[in-house]
Structure 1
Amino acid sequence: MLIAGRRRRGGVAVAYTVILTSVGLEMAADMIMRLRRSAAHEVRVVAVERRSDVNARHFADAFVCIDSWDPQTFAVGVVRVAEQFDADLVLPLVDGDVLALAPYAEAFAGLGCRLACNRAELVDTLADKLAAYRLFTQVGLPVPDWRAADSRERLVAAVEQMFGLYGEVVVKPAMAQSSRGVSVVRNAIHGAQEYLGSREVHMDYDTFMTRFVDVYDALFPVVVMKRLCEPVHDLDILAWEGEARCVVPRRRRNTALPNEGHEILDSQVLTDLGRDIAKKLGLSWLVDCDVMFDETGAPCVLEVNPRPSHSTVVSVAAGAPLLDDMISLARGLPVAESAGPPPALVVPYRTMDIAQT
């Protein structure tokens, strides 16, 4: 593949500059290296994080610490970084960054920089599980049976009803991230226990009703949903104006710990679902979707995250041109739909590389 022509500013050729936020994530350093080693574009990466001690800072062309958890302060800081480095693209990797940055899309555009983010109202909807499930139901995407609860009384009633129907239910706060505050109610265990080192807590029905219901007093509203069949599947979806350019289905080796390895799948069912998600939600850019199957083998959408997962590099490592094609789309270059990579098992391992000096 030929390297795309370098942009010019004032007659001087310059690399395409990508700002990557929240680089403290486990696989962020790998994503930085894959961006910088692109076979299709000459890419410069500016890494941004709220902490100054992350290892990924050594692998970027530049690193900036924005030491603030206030969304507005962080967003204004990223805008300033974009101006300082004459950036072309901002790629956020966590929901909080997307929510903070989405209202500043025009500010970035005024600098000649694109924010890899869908429209702000869709971002707000996808970040709220109740609003998202209502939208998925409205547009006809498959979801598990679910109920909304905004009080202790409604939570108890929903769990009682759903447990009676299915024997296993999941309770999750509408605004939770990374399994925070998630309870799985099932009688296959006694008492309560953390699930395989994750933030999920699994418990029997009586334990939930006597010890955990009041935990949600500070977390309402919540979603009560039918528990589906493990493992979780991820869909990496690169789309543009509602048209999928590439969909990569991958199955987690460990549902609770998604970074312990993935199997890249050749699944027409999941690929078609990814295309349907992109079309019905009018998606652009690179997003991550969580899917599980019900007992009949039908896929159900759990979440559509309004940004790529840092584990998207799993699909890139397997051969999917997700990052290269995303940059091509951002640059206005034509990108045809591409098939996902062939089936493969991709596992993480500890390695070393020469850091930037």
Structure 2
Amino acid sequence: MIAGCGARGAINAVIDGLRRSRTFDVRIVGTDADEFAAGRGLVDSFVQIPRADVGGYREAVARVVDEHQPVVVFPLADQEIGALHELSDGLGFMLAALNRVSAPLCLDKAAGLRMLHEHGLSEGAAVVVTKPGEIRRAVEIEHPRLRMPLIAKPRSSSGGRDAWLLEDSPTPLADWESEFIRVVSVDEFETLNQDRLAQFVLMPFIAGSHYTVACVTIQDQLVVLPIRRRRFSPGVTWSGQLVEHPRIDAVMRKLDSIIGLAPIANVQLVEDSDGALTVYEINPRLSTTSSVFSSIGVNVPDALLHELTGRDFNLGPAPWGATFARYAQEVVWYGDAAHD
């Protein structure tokens, strides 16, 4: 079962990886709050369910599990992980997400950043503001050491899909434009988000090479797969390269010793011009980006499927240097077919 099969990347990464399983004849049921979720046409069955933050979500998941009897559930949205952990024991499925001890720390972006800072893995402590309208005061009065540009994202979010880059004069450098879709001044940010109730986390923006790192545990061994993000926007990497990076490997093993990354975690970090590594986010789930190499033998979704069901699996040597690119495709429905 894929929970959140409308997530960008699900249709061309996770689903494809599962279809390529070495052992299992996979049947996939997908769920999403969006009736027209992107992955709807690529799963074997689709069920629309409520969002995890509204009433009826747990009951809807229970009905799906009762009808389809999934063995493993792959959550692709952070917001569902807490509830799915709670449901997994009673409903009898296994969850392909970070373990229930470590997951809450990573779901709270502010708490996660503080932990990383305490262990020397993050540049600067997080600042939590109670509402968007308080960011100016937080920056200028309460935390004067903070300097623009800053990243602002909801305290509870799904990856980087709702990230903003705040700049005094929003005329970003060329390489920033590919990293953050929304580049705004603080005043513009406060105006655009004035009706939102969410707390926002502020963190320094660090220019450099950005990485998304898949950390998957196979038979008690941590496998680290760093992917350098060549071109990306919030929530999706459009082009990336699998790279061998011993220092990133060492940082991931240190992080594993601190909180435990089994069975799967997706870590975001940046390497600045001096070579310093800064971890700025831990996503407690499978990354769609780490799934794109299944076609050349590095099948992380299948590895998770085997690990959670107690089957032996050899991920094989990583094809360092392998590069991928995503592209948008226009699909048009016309006439009666548009209503099917």
Query: What count of residue pairs does the alignment treat as equivalent?
Result: 318
The secondary structure found in structure 2 opposite 1:102 is: helix
Does residue 224 of the first structure (1) align with residue 202 of the second (2)?
Answer: yes
- Whether the 8 Å contact between 1:248 and 1:320 is mirrored in structure 2 is no
Which amino acid is 1:237 matched to?
C
Distance 1:318 1:185, change over 3 A: farther
Distance 1:287 1:315, change over 3 A: farther
Q: Distance in 1 between matches of 2:34 and 2:128?
A: 36
Distance 1:216 1:282, change over 3 A: farther
- Whether the 8 Å contact between 2:108 and 2:156 is mirrored in structure 1 is yes
Distance 1:296 1:99, change over 3 A: same
Q: Distance in 2 between matches of 1:79 and 1:141?
A: 41
Deviation of 1:21 after TM superposition, in Å, equals 1.3
1:59 to 39, 42, 45: 42
Match of 1:142 in 2: 121
2:108 to 121, 125, 128: 128
Structure with the bigger RCO (C-alpha within 8 Å, sep 6+) is 2
Distance 1:247 1:95, change over 3 A: same
Distance 1:222 1:348, change over 3 A: closer
1:183 to 150, 160, 165: 165
Deviation of 1:311 after TM superposition, in Å, equals 2.4
Q: Deviations along 1:29-71, whole A, 9 cap, x unmatched? A: 2222331231232222111122232352232222222245545
Q: Distance in 1 between matches of 2:328 and 2:167?
A: 35
Distance 1:169 1:348, change over 3 A: closer
Match of 2:256 in 1: 278
After TM superposition, what 4+ stretches of structure 1 lie above 6 angstroms from structure 2?
Answer: none
Q: Distance in 1 between matches of 2:99 and 2:179?
A: 35
Does residue 315 of the first structure (1) align with residue 293 of the second (2)?
Answer: yes
Does residue 50 of the first structure (1) align with residue 33 of the second (2)?
Answer: yes
Match of 2:144 in 1: 160
2:151 to 166, 170, 190: 170
Q: Over the residues paired in the alignment, what is the CA RMSD in angstroms?
A: 3.2
Which amino acid is 1:143 matched to?
S
> For the pair shown, which has the larger CA radius of gyration, 1 or 2?
1
Distance 1:223 1:65, change over 3 A: closer
- Whether the 8 Å contact between 2:167 and 2:184 is mirrored in structure 1 is yes
**What TM-score, normalized to structure 2?**
0.80
Match of 1:340 in 2: 318
Deviation of 1:305 after TM superposition, in Å, equals 0.4
Deviation of 1:350 after TM superposition, in Å, equals 6.0
Unaligned stretches of 5+ residues in structure 1? 1-18, 353-357
The secondary structure found in structure 2 opposite 1:43 is: coil
Match of 1:261 in 2: 239
- Whether the 8 Å contact between 1:147 and 1:158 is mirrored in structure 2 is no
- Whether the 8 Å contact between 1:230 and 1:255 is mirrored in structure 2 is no
- Whether the 8 Å contact between 1:33 and 1:60 is mirrored in structure 2 is no
- Whether the 8 Å contact between 1:236 and 1:287 is mirrored in structure 2 is yes
- Whether the 8 Å contact between 1:171 and 1:223 is mirrored in structure 2 is yes
Match of 2:77 in 1: 94
